[in-house]
Amino acid sequence: MRWMKKLVVLMGIFIIGVLPSVKAEEVKEATVAGTIVDEAGQALIAQVVFYNDASLMRLNTDLLGRYSTKLPLGDYTMEVSKGSEYEIKDVTVSVEDRRAKYIEPVVLKQLYETDWLSGDLHQHTLSSFDGSDSPANVLLSNLAVGLDFGFVTDHNDMRANAEFTAQPFEDFLAFAGTEVTTDLGHFNALNFNKYLDFDVPNGEADLEPMFNQIQSDDAALLQVNHPLRDNFKFEDMEMIERFDLIEVWNGKALPPYVEGDSNEQTKLYWFDLLNEGIFIPMTAGSDNHDIQGNRMFLTDEGEQTEAEYFFNRRMYSGSPRTVVYAEDKGQEDVLEGLEEGHSFVTNNPLIYLSVEGAMVGETVEAGELTVEVDMQSNRELEEMRLYLNGEVVERQAVEVLEFQQVFLMDLEAGDWVVLEVLGASGDYALTNPVFIK
């Protein structure tokens, strides 16, 4: 459990969600409250969702694991979670009358431990013209979903950086940043907090001095965001090699396994770059403009489409996230891991790929090589896909929570290998490559 160095004003409970609109005189509701704890009985900052066929409400606990909200009378499922390493627990809740209902403490079990750190590289606060949450609320949401680090990246604005990076938690790494927002595309300047002239009046040539200013800071990383998303595309792909990172999975669209979606198109474009010998490590970020997502509602009729499901249930901080190997777990280690491609992207499964012991982002000599895959999830996995040079060469059904396997592959100089995993409820993960020389 993460504790703070000092008490900060984060003690309120930040409630987010949408419930059916009813006239004031028709409201029949009750307060529902409780706490989330770990196996030792210690308070756990976590995410809580109440839902039924008519409504859904998402909230984060406070620093002491407490939550409290008002719900209309009815029966609900309460889903409690804290990121990939913890179980997801469902509790049935019946609100039968207006009397306050206290739910017994919910114990959330940690399933896995990992040396890798997970974080959100694309988050907005109320300093963005279309944002809604304070930096403190964004921070709390990051802690509730089990993130180890996070960046704030407001549109052409850096006012939130000071508050976000002043957070007091020893085990959370808070980074400054901004999303440079132009009519030529959107770009994250990560770990960057200097004055920047955001004006781009005369077309693509004006991006050059902006790129130069960001990249003159050796500690900053330049990431192209959602490069193939309609209305927000990067308009000059000839400049793609100027970027340190490419956002293959943006949280405002569907996971990259969905054919025809902008994230899937970006994944395929990234594969093409790899086949051309261009390696720009890929990342993911929620792009959250409010910490519950912009479309937190349920449809009124029939089965939800895949898009509706994600817009309703999976748009929140850290969904998706980038998981990076950071040897000493410091800020410099995170930045180095991102830049080297020692990372994978996910909205839940933890997946690890190695070739002859080399991790993603590394290179090994050609030959008959041992390829190891290791996967863990708190929801059932469904399918594993192993890519060689952008083509699936191994596909297996894996209807379990944990899966490990070793393959022998004849790999030649110039080859690259990537692991992709699909799971229940739209769970998805994708690694950066291991290269062969």
Give residue 290's region: left, alpha or beta (phi > 0; psi -120 to 50).
Answer: beta
The rounded distance, in Å, linking the Cα atoms of 159 and 182 is 19
Per-residue model confidence (pLDDT) at position 202? 55
Terminus-to-terminus CA distance in the chain, angstroms? 42
Where are the extended beta strands (E) located within 132-281? 149-151, 173-175, 177-182, 185-190, 221-224, 245-250
Q: In degrees, to the nearest 5, what angle opens at C-alpha 172 toward C-alphas 326 and 8?
A: 170
Per-residue model confidence (pLDDT) at position 200? 60
Please report, rounded to a whole number, the percentage of residues in the chain having pLDDT higher than 90. 79
User: pLDDT-derived band of residue 21, with 50, 70 and 90 as boundaries?
Assistant: low
Per-residue model confidence (pLDDT) at position 20? 53
Q: Does 293 score more than 80 pLDDT?
A: no
Where are the extended beta strands (E) located within 145-227? 149-151, 173-175, 177-182, 185-190, 221-224
Q: Please count the helices (runs of H) and the strands (runs of E) in the chain.
A: 6, 29
Q: Does 309 score more than 90 pLDDT?
A: no
pLDDT (average), residues 26-53: 94
**β-pair partners for 159:** none
14-107 CATH: 2.60.40.10
Q: Domain residue spans in the chain?
A: 14-107, 116-347, 348-437
User: 116-347 adopts what CATH topology?
Assistant: TIM Barrel (3.20.20)
Q: Does 357 score more than 50 pLDDT?
A: yes
Q: If residue 4 lies in a helix (H) or strand (E), which one and from where to where? A: none
Residue-wise pLDDT for 54-93, tens only, equals: 888 899 999 999 999 999 999 999 999 999 999 999 999 9
In this structure, CATH architecture of domain 348-437: Sandwich (2.60)
Residue-wise pLDDT for 101-131, tens only, equals: 999 999 999 999 999 999 999 999 999 999 9
CB atoms under 10 Å from CB of 148, counted, come to 22
In this chain, the answer to whether the domains covering 14-107 and 348-437 adopt an identical fold is yes
Tokens of 229: 């998303």
Per-residue model confidence (pLDDT) at position 1? 38
Residue-wise pLDDT for 326-350, tens only, equals: 999 999 999 999 999 999 999 999 9
